[in-house]
Amino acid sequence: MASQNRKGTVSLRQVSGSARSKKVRIDLGEEATFTRFPAPVKVGDASYFLVRGRDGYKLLSTVCPHQGGEVMDEGDNLFVCDGHGWQYHKTEGTCEGKPDFRMKAFLVTLNGNHLIALVPDE
């Protein structure tokens, strides 16, 4: 079950998973409730952006792959990191001008009309 706070960030609860797998399946809610992308999503202490790219939905971690800064959506065409200002594409998480870097992506699938994410158990 998902709930939404004033900032539009969705908080979620775990629907399955185990300590052995180190990943958990999270029900993000009904697909129809996500009308704007990227959509901020919080799972435990971890923050993501739900995006819809060429190959479907995925969660992009807001932890910068450079040195762990926070990647933010400031409303421009690209995400931007607060660490050193690197910019990332909003659908695939690839780094502008640095092809060896990309935001960490996690699988999101459809189960019925619900979006289910597979994310680290943090």
Binding residues for ligand FES (CB under 6 A):
64, 66-69, 81, 83-84, 86
- The count of other CB atoms within 10 Å of the CB of residue 27 is 17
**Least distance (Å) from ligand FES to the CB of residue 86?**
4
Chain center to CA of 109 = 13
**Least distance (Å) from ligand FES to the CB of residue 103?**
10
**Least distance (Å) from ligand FES to the CB of residue 45?**
18
Residue with Cβ nearer ligand FES (17 or 69): 69
Residue with Cβ nearer ligand FES (68 or 97): 68
Residue with Cβ nearer ligand FES (72 or 107): 72
- The count of other CB atoms within 10 Å of the CB of residue 77 is 8
If you write DSSP's letter for every residue of 36-88 in order, what string do you get? SSSEEEEETTEEEEEEEETTEEEEEESB-TTTS-BEE--SSSEEEETTT--EE
